[in-house]
Amino acid sequence: MAGIQRYFEDELTDEWRKGREAAIKVGRLRNHRSGTTERNDMKLPLWVALDFQEQGVMSPLEITEDVSPNPRFTFSGLAILPQG
């Protein structure tokens, strides 16, 4: 049985933390309900950022549409696909 994955904000790099804060700000500017902001705008960017960090992507700026500095990933439309 797999363990429970826990996500903690203090594990974020400064770059990912700034990206998460920007996502929260956009949610508030779009007048998301407080429950939506708490659940989606705060938690989802944290999950995404920490998952990318686990894969060696230490900044959102490392993800580009043209060429990824991390050879394990390529950008295809709206999805980042791992390289086999």
Q: How many domains does the chain have?
A: 1
- The helix or strand, by DSSP H or E, that contains position 44, with its residue range, turns out to be helix 44-54
Classify residue 65: in a domain, yes or no: yes
- The helix or strand, by DSSP H or E, that contains position 42, with its residue range, turns out to be none
d(CA 3, CA 76): 31
pLDDT in tens, 27-36: 888 887 777 7
Classify residue 71: in a domain, yes or no: yes
pLDDT in tens, 15-68: 999 999 988 888 888 887 777 776 788 888 899 899 889 988 899 888 876 555
Q: Is the pTM of this model over 0.75?
A: no
Classify residue 70: in a domain, yes or no: yes
Sign of CA dihedral 61, 67, 73, 78: positive
> Residue 34 is part of which domain span?
11-82
